Amino acid sequence: MQHIVQLKGKRKITALTAYDYPTAKIVSEAGVDVILVGDSLGMVVLGYSSTHFVTLDDMIRHGQAVMRGNSKSLVVIDMPIATCDTPEKAIASCRKVCEETGAHVVKIEGKPESVRAVAQTGIAVMGHTGLKPQEVQSYKIQGKDDISRKKVFEEAVALEQAGAFAVILECIPSSLGLEITQKLRIPTIGIGAGSLTDGQILVLHDILGFSSDVRPRFVRKYAHIDKEISQATHHFIKDVISGNYPSEQESYS
Ligand code: KIV
């Protein structure tokens, strides 16, 4: 975790989500600094309409799979809705997640008092401010007017003071991303927060081109995996129906 903190001002921090063994293995071996087992898994791989349905058990199951695939990245487990509402609850929930996954780093949305309580137990906490999906019904850029800007700025400062080792800044104007990055001693990792934060995080399935329905402007697609999967499926169906699969070499004698 300290090696991530020390990257501030030296080079940009890279972070991606992963929710399972094979993708964690690939992105870790490829050299991403941080893997976040995000509660976005609720939408991305479980098919829910929001993160609000994700449970602690979901995070533990997916966290365990990612830990088995990870080789050299820092794995951060996201704490789902209602698990960190009070400092006492946050300590119990974060301890359970860490004990059962073997990860030692969690992410909490907002809630500086819960962050403080958990950080004091020795568990490393990543903060998260700006757009906080657990608190909203629809996704909109935050910090556009003076009141909202001040609120996001103050929460980022409060998260640092509470002991967070880094903070995610989600969906805020670039100028606010820069202002917070200059103010904090801990690294800021942006998603839709412009190019001037200390690092960038994106949802792996978005950059792979898995989820074609909703695509925020900050998502850059590096692949079109949906087309690859569809093509492979079509070929398989064709080969089975035509008798082209399996061949003799693909069969036991
Ligand atoms: O759950 C998630 O994937 C996240 C990222 C968007 C930062 O919190």
Catalytic residue among 155, 160, 170, 179: 170
Nearest CA to ligand 1 atom 5: 38
- If asked whether residues 233 and 214 sit together in one domain, one would say no
Instruction: Scan for tokens 């365990």, then name that residue.
Output: 64
Question: Domain tally for the chain?
Answer: 2
- Across residues 3-15, what is the average pLDDT? 98
Does ligand 1 come within 6 angstroms of the Cβ of 180? no
- Name the residue of 125, 191, 202, 219 to mutate for ligand 1: max ligand atoms within 8 A of Cβ: 191
Does ligand 1 come within 6 angstroms of the Cβ of 38? yes
- If asked whether residues 248 and 160 sit together in one domain, one would say no
Is 170 catalytic? The answer is yes
- Across residues 238-242, what is the average pLDDT? 98
pLDDT bin (cut points 50, 70, 90) of residue 23 is very high
- If asked whether residues 71 and 176 sit together in one domain, one would say yes
pLDDT bin (cut points 50, 70, 90) of residue 211 is low
- Across residues 204-222, what is the average pLDDT? 87
Residue 235 domain boundaries: 225-253
Encode pLDDT of 52-91 as tens digits.
999 999 999 999 999 999 999 999 999 999 999 999 999 9
Encode pLDDT of 131-181 as tens digits.
999 998 888 999 999 999 999 999 999 999 999 999 999 999 999 999 999
Is 232 a residue whose pLDDT tops 80? yes
- Across residues 107-129, what is the average pLDDT? 98
- If asked whether residues 210 and 148 sit together in one domain, one would say yes
- If asked whether residues 29 and 114 sit together in one domain, one would say yes
Is 212 a residue whose pLDDT tops 70? no
Is 213 a residue whose pLDDT tops 80? no
Is 16 a residue whose pLDDT tops 80? yes
Reading the block at residue 85, the tokens are 């509402």
pLDDT bin (cut points 50, 70, 90) of residue 214 is low
> CA dihedral defined by 101, 104, 107, 112, rounded to 10 degrees?
130
Per-residue pLDDT, 139:
87
165 within 8 A of 127, measured Cβ to Cβ: no
> CA dihedral defined by 140, 141, 144, 148, rounded to 10 degrees?
70
pLDDT bin (cut points 50, 70, 90) of residue 1 is confident
- If asked whether residues 235 and 111 sit together in one domain, one would say no
- Across residues 5-9, what is the average pLDDT? 98
Q: How far apart are CA 231 and CA 213, in angstroms?
A: 19
Query: Which CATH number do you get for residue 97?
Result: 3.20.20.60
Q: How far apart are CA 208 and CA 220, in angstroms?
A: 9
Encode pLDDT of 86-106 as tens digits.
999 999 999 999 999 999 899
Average pLDDT, the chain: 96
Residues facing 168 on adjacent strands = 128, 189
- If asked whether residues 244 and 197 sit together in one domain, one would say no
Q: How far apart are CA 250 and CA 213, in angstroms?
A: 37
pLDDT bin (cut points 50, 70, 90) of residue 215 is confident
* Amino acid identity at 71: S
Residue 190, classed as helix, strand or coil, is strand
- If asked whether residues 50 and 61 sit together in one domain, one would say yes
- If asked whether residues 53 and 83 sit together in one domain, one would say yes
- If asked whether residues 189 and 251 sit together in one domain, one would say no
Q: How far apart are CA 136 and CA 110, in angstroms?
A: 12
- If asked whether residues 79 and 115 sit together in one domain, one would say yes
- If asked whether residues 209 and 252 sit together in one domain, one would say no
Q: How far apart are CA 2 and CA 91, in angstroms?
A: 22
